[in-house]
Every structure is written in C-alpha cells, then in structure tokens.
Structure 1
C-alpha cells in the first residue's frame, strides 16, 4: 500500500524535490535513522563511510523530546528526507512513486510513494529521533502531529552523500547567545533575562550575539555563559532534578518581570552580589573608571596583565565554586565564598598555568573550569570542607 502525501513540486538548478508534511506516526513508520544497519550498503558497507555523525542520544532525551512534550507551540524546521528504493537502484517514477498533479502540468498534487521505499534523514536525524521517542511517550497526543518535510529522489550513493554534505556543511546555526536572546519558554533563560536587568553590573553589559567576547568588547559576559552559570547554581539550590522543580517549571513562558520569576531570580542575585562585592575591580566598571576589555586584556602600554575572573572560565568557575559551598549546606556559604574570592590572585600569570591558562592564553574548557573552581576553594582554605568542595579541590592541580 502506497503512502500518499499532498505536496508542492519544486526545483533548484538540477535538483528536483517535493515539499509536504508527514504525521509523527508516518515519520516513525517510514524514516530509518542513519544508525540503522540497513544503510550500511548505501554508504559503502560496514566499516566504510559512516551514514552520519553519531546520534547524540542525551541531547535527544534531555532537550528535544521534553521540548515536544511540554510545549504547546513547539515547531520543527523541515526534515530533508531522501527516498531510497529497497532495491538500491535510482528512484523510478511509476514503480517507486507517482506524482499526481491536481491540474495539468501543475506543481501541486499528490505524491504516492511505494511502501518499499525507505526515507533517509539527510538533515534532521536528531529531530527524527525525538519525534519517534515522543510518540512512544505520548502516543495519543503525538500521533496526529505533523512536521514539514523536503523529499528528494535517490539517484546513487555519491549523490546521496553529496546531498548530506550540502545540507550539513552549509548549515550555520546561530550562536547559543542569540538563541537564548530569542527564547521565551525556558525557565532558566527567563530567570537569566531578569538577572540581566536586576544586577547592575550585567545591565546592558551582557553580549546577546555571540558565544565569546571579542577582545575589545565592552560587555562583561555573554548570555550563553550566564545561562550556563545559572544552570550550575540552580542545581545546587534545587537539586539534580531542578528543571522539574515546581517553582522552576511554573516560570515557563512568563515575562521576566513577573513576581514568580523574582522568587527564583533572587537566589541567583544573592550569589552575584557576593561575587561582585568581593572582586573589587568590578567597581571600576560600575563607576565608569575602566572598560571591561581592560580587565580582560590588561594594559599593553605598561605590560600589566588582565584578570582571569573577567573571562568566561572565571564566571563559570566562580559559579561552580559557589554551587559546591551551597550543596555542602554550610552555615554561611556567602561568607565562605566571599573569603575565597578575596584570597585568589586573579591577575593572569604563571600561577594559573595548567589551571585556567596554557602559557599566556586563558583556556576556557570544561576541565579548566573545574580546575579553576577547585583552585578558588583551595586558595580560600575552607575549614571542614564537605564532599562537594572536596571533590572540586581534588580536581585542581597545584599552581606553578
């Protein structure tokens, strides 16, 4: 039995395609993920060229599936599906498919695809996997949902691989910070937008366009870094399942100015107030006596180096150190954090080598962030450290 899809026929240069939509149930039935062994021969055989990059199952399970299940206005961009006959031969009109225009020589019509034809997701394997998983979790709600599709005919292995290359190499995702700037559902992003206005240092000094700060940027932090720091801190305040906490989930799609947002934001604001008050150089920014770039890069004319705290690794490491103190339920985590921040020599130099720096370059990596957080706590000589603090301090190598 053939599957029938209302489509619009199109052509870009020599590539013909059909535009339509498929229900989630049809996606689950007819689309085979690239990891399926049926595609081995199409891509040169087992052990030869891989069909696609490996599926990031954690991203599918923790990010994309919840987005579908929890968002009433969720939307996916179109999947690019290549129609591959079971024979492995080029797609043939008449046997593998039929296009039935609604008018003579029209572009709008019905595409009938034989059930023996498989659909390969040349672009959209993670969205496809999420649709399949969401369907399993909530079949009654997900079954009738539809996703836009671009259907392309299979000609041969080389052409299929070229389509995949074209679709993935030429795709340029927006920066994480831009994505967050336009986000209106995610509670953590909503709280972050509130913090960006309520904390004076962040007000109009958060870069919402890129994932890193340019050398001469007047901003003190990127939105992406601030959001990641808030994930770290909120996990400390609410526990590992903080995203499912009722106080957090209640913030979905609220305006950042809503009083419910303030309740959560205040916890984060308390942390940033301790940080900013105990790194005195931030006062120079607030009082207009220095530029953020000067704190990062230093003064070339005098050879004075900048400060590690002014980089993304500094912000995230400080958040991680604060989170460890909060997790250990210390009598006054804010006082301990203040002591640690004051004890650190934040100037870039040899003492940061192998921790936050490699040579004369600040090294913003996951291990570097963890090592820097441990170094901050170790420099503060925290008395009676708990398991979270001990774990971080153990990750910090001895300074040079």
Structure 2
C-alpha cells in the first residue's frame, strides 16, 4: 500500500457538496491528476468524457514556460478511493480572533490509494503536464485545487457527471460531445447513452460511431456520420441523439426543457418507448438490424464500389436525419399514426439509387457522391412527405417541380401515381 497522504485544506460546503480547497505542486498534479474518464460504460463514449485538448493548450504551455507572471486558476478535481478523512486543526489563540475558523481549517488524509481526475481545468492540466516535460523546474510551482469526493456507484457517477456538466455549462459553453457523454439533465442524452450501453443491437461494439478521430494531442471530434471505412457502424452518436429526440413524441420527454432532469420514472418510461421505436424504425427502413446482424462487414451496404446505387439508403446519415424529421412532422400534424408510417416505410425500395433517395446522391462514371447541403436535404424531406402522406395535389406538384429545379431532370414517379397517397383520397 502506498504511503499516507496528508493535504492541508480548507473545508467548505455548497448545495449537497462538501469540498476542500488545497494547494498542490505542479509536479504532483502532472503525475497524479488524470483527465476525467470511466464515468460511462462504452469505451468510445468514455473517451468523450475528457475535454478535447485544443490548440489553446499550446498557448497555455508557452505561457507557463515563458512568462514570469504566470498564474493559473484553480483546478476542480475529483478524488476517488483512498479512504479520505478530514481532521480539523485547532489553533491556540484568542477566541475573539479565531471564532468560527477552527472547523474550516484542517488536514485531509488519504491512505495513498486515491486517484485524482480533473472535472474542470483540463486544458490547464494538459498544459502543466506538457510544460514540466520541457522544464522540470516548474514542478515546484503551486496551483490551488478544489477537491471533491467521487464515489464509484451509479448514484456517485451520476452526481459527478452532473457536476462536470454544470461547472462547464455555467462557466462557458460545453461542446456537444461533452453534453452527450455526460449531461445528467438532458433526458435525450441520458437515453442515447443508455441505448449505446444497454440495447441488444446498439450496444454491440462499434455499432454506433462515437468519435471520428483522436488527434495528436488527444482532441476528439464528435461523430456526425459513419466513415465509409467503418466495418460495424450503422449510425453515429450525434445522429442517434437526433433520432431519439424526433421519436420522443407522446412520451414524458416530449416538450421537456433540456436543462430540467426528468424523473427516474419519466426516463424509464421514455426509454422503453423510444428504444423500441428506434429499433422499429431501423427495421422498417430496409431491415437494417436483421440484415447487419448477419454480416461481419457492413461497408458494402454503405458504399458499394462495384455497384454504386445498390447501397442501403438508411445506412446514410442524411437519410436517417430526413426520415426521422419527416416522421416527427407527420406525427405532429396527425397525418399518419406511427404504425401507418412504419407500414409505408417498409414498402419503399431502400436502394440508394432509387427514389426518393436518389435526390441526395449523384452517380457519375461509376462513382457515387452524396449531396448533403440544405438544398438537397429540403428536397428529400419534401419528397418523403409526398410519398408518405401528401396533403394536396398542389403539394405533390411543388415537390416534383423542386426536384426538376435542383436535379435538372424530371422526377421518375408521376403526379398521378403519387396522388394515390393523398391523405383524404
């Protein structure tokens, strides 16, 4: 067992948190304080918990190395394990001067088995680690540290995750990757993580693409789509989050503020409903789940180099986004029921080269190129509506005209054929 650690500290309390204000040497910080991790289940999801290390870190590192006036603000650090105990220190002096101070000043002790990870100040932490490698003498410098205790239970993890996001939300805007990985108030983020961790299909390794790259300095880019080279992925975490939001109709999460955490009962009820809808949608849109489960490599149904246009349309992020948006629109307008929408989607030809999916791709000289700008997204949305539940003949005419304007060719499905889907026909 490691030696006991004693840290002089001021004890304070705010809300339901007891915390300790102390001082650490840069050398100790660089050696012992890690980046926030292991607060989730999925390995890729865990990686997002660390704040992305950006070019800003280099600037802080140079500042530490070059400026004699260097000064960094406090780190907020969670301490895990180590059997922490706080011992107030009593001071012998006039009570008139010290009244109320004894209880707040003392020594924080650990048995040596503790681990530290930063909840706030990870750019500063990275800069300290980098600066000491270049100039070890900086190890004697000191920084104030606010210590909180982290407990390795579900309740403890949730509490620490919420502290992380609340600190960053209130101090500066958090990235979408941080919110998706950690936010304990956004019900959709909570359900997205649970789906990735628990769902029979989406919890399979690599099934949901979480980030697109890990840079030279550890920075992460949130995956908004799945790479063509990905052998397992069917959607990205960002896209799955948006799908979950769109499919939240008639659940306790519908219309709830993202900053108000739903109750546990609301989350449970919503998860059961939404997770089933997500699976139903992926199955209705070309039998993606049952098809992919039989495959070791899904690259060919995402991008078919031999027969471009034969890919599965719903393996493309733009199609997932447009379909889920239109589904929500039709539900909100009471144009169709959920079951009616699923039935209609199952009847579509889901090859990417077929209508209406051909509106967002071009096949030229044996090569397929996706077109994902707003112009093409709007076009696919309009076409989906007239295939699923057009409200009038005029709406069909407008959509077909838009296809001609955008694609410079006539829409292959006639006005008369599309009118068969009119809601009131």
Give the TM-score taking structure 1 as reference length.
Answer: 0.48
Give the TM-score taking structure 2 as reference length.
Answer: 0.46
